[in-house]
């Protein structure tokens, strides 16, 4: 009786999942495995080995990897500092890091464009100081910058969450037994925050890999990621099969990343707190 009620309550969500997640995925699969006439064909799946697509995939993986690495290097020490703060307003500091996420991310990327452009804010300041100018807008560097800026909170929060959960007595016990700070860091802090790090990596890497808006705006149309190829296939070329095949390949990458999280983060600890 109780079970039935529970299932009924899940009804609306079930309809949502089927209608907006499962069905579209099936449709993408169908498009990916057929040709323009609707017959079964591996033509478009095998087309991912063209130089264009391989270049785009390689570049996406490269930029995604670099953005993730930079996020990790920035977030880990920051999370350590934040979690070691012993004052009442710790939550407030975390809140400040979350704050930018409340604004539309496209707006924030547009703002970067204004900051970085040739006669933009940064260059005007540099110019007044007589320091010359720098031009990174419309290059892969600018795209990485945009990704890091956008996805940093996704890395910071899981690591921070796993860090504040480490109990002080464990560290004290280790120190009592003669461990120095370096040993404590590698033997206790790193292993206990690993699940947070992994979910952080996935939460940055997956959107970075599939993004197309950042590369469109900050790449000036010169940086072609897989997301851009898919977008063009659908919106401009009317090549739905080719676009679906690429999406399918991208999905495989995403599934691999998800499997990786499950391996490390069995009960979803990393994301539990938010």
Partner 1 sequence: MKKRIISVMLIAAMTFSLFSACGKQENENASSSRETITVLNYGKYLDEDALRTFEEETGITVKYEEYESPEEMYTKYKSGSIDYDVICTSEYMIERLIQENEVNEINFSAFQNYDNVDPTIIDFCGSFDPEHKYTLPYFYGTVGILYNKTMVDESEVQSWDVLWDKKYKNEIIQENSVRDAFMPALSKLGYSINTTDPSELREALDLLIEQKPLVYAYMVDETGDEMIAGNAALAVLYSGEAAYAMDFNDDLAYSVPKEGSNIWIDAWFIPKSCTNQSGAQKFLDFLCRDDIAMLNFDYVYYTSPMLSVLQDQDEDVRNDEVINPSKETLERCEVYKALSEKDSTYYSNLWQELKSTQ
Q: Give me the residues that bind partner 1 (CB under 8 A), please.
A: 5, 9, 12, 51-53, 55-56, 59, 117-119, 135, 138, 220-222, 224, 228-229, 232, 234-239
- Using CA atoms of 131, 137, 142, 145 in order, give the dihedral in degrees to the nearest 10: 60
The rounded distance, in Å, linking the Cα atoms of 221 and 115 is: 18
Distance in Å, CB of 54 to partner 1, minimum = 9
Nearer of residues 12 and 178 to partner 1, judged by Cβ: 12
Nearer to partner 1 by C-beta: 22 or 114? 114
Nearer to partner 1, 160 or 253 (CB): 253
Whole-angstrom Cα Rg for the chain: 23
Whole-number minimum distance, CB 205 to partner 1, in Å? Answer: 21
Distance of closest approach, residue 55 Cβ to partner 1, in angstroms: 4
Q: What is the DSSP letter of 87?
A: S
CB of 236 to partner 1, least distance (A): 4
Residue showing tokens 């099969």? 241
Q: Measured from the CB of residue 145, what is the shortest distance to partner 1 in angstroms?
A: 16
3-state helix, strand, coil in the chain (%, to 5): 80, 0, 20
Residues contacting residue 50 through CB under 8 Å, at least 6 positions apart: none
Backbone angles phi, psi at 155, to 5 degrees: -85, -40
Pull the structure tokens for residue 32. 């990916």
3-state secondary structure of 184: helix
CB of 117 to partner 1, least distance (A): 6
Q: What is the end-to-end Cα distance of the chain in Å, rounded? A: 33
Closer residue to partner 1 in complex, CB, 75/211:
211
- C-beta of 155 vs 226, nearer to partner 1: 226
Q: Which is nearer to partner 1, 216 or 265 (CB)?
A: 216
């Amino acid at each position: 009786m109780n079970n039935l009620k529970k299932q009924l309550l899940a009804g609306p969500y079930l309809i949502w999942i089927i209608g907006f997640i499962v069905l579209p995925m099936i449709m993408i699969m169908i498009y990916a495995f057929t040709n323009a006439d609707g017959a079964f064909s591996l033509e478009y799946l095998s087309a991912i080995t063209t130089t264009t697509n391989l270049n785009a995939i390689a570049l996406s993986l490269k930029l995604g990897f670099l953005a993730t690495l930079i996020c990790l290097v920035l977030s880990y020490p920051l999370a350590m500092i934040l979690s070691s703060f012993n004052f009442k307003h710790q939550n407030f500091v975390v809140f400040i890091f979350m704050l930018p996420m409340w604004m539309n991310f496209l707006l924030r990327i547009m703002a970067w464009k204004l900051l970085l452009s040739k006669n933009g804010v940064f260059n005007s300041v540099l110019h007044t100081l007589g320091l010359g100018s720098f031009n990174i807008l419309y290059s892969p560097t600018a795209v990485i910058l945009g990704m890091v800026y956008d996805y940093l909170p996704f890395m910071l929060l899981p690591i921070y969450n796993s860090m504040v959960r480490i109990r002080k007595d464990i560290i004290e016990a280790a120190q009592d037994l003669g461990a120095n700070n370096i040993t404590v860091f590698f033997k206790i802090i790193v292993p206990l925050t690993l699940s947070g790090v992994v979910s952080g990596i996935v939460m940055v890497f997956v959107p970075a890999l599939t993004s197309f808006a950042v590369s469109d705006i900050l790449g000036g149309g010169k940086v072609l990621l897989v997301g851009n190829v898919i977008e063009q296939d659908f919106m401009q070329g009317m090549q739905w099969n080719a676009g679906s095949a690429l999406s399918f390949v991208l999905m495989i990458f995403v599934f691999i990343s998800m499997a990786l999280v499950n391996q490390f983060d069995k009960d979803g600890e990393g994301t539990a707190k938010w």
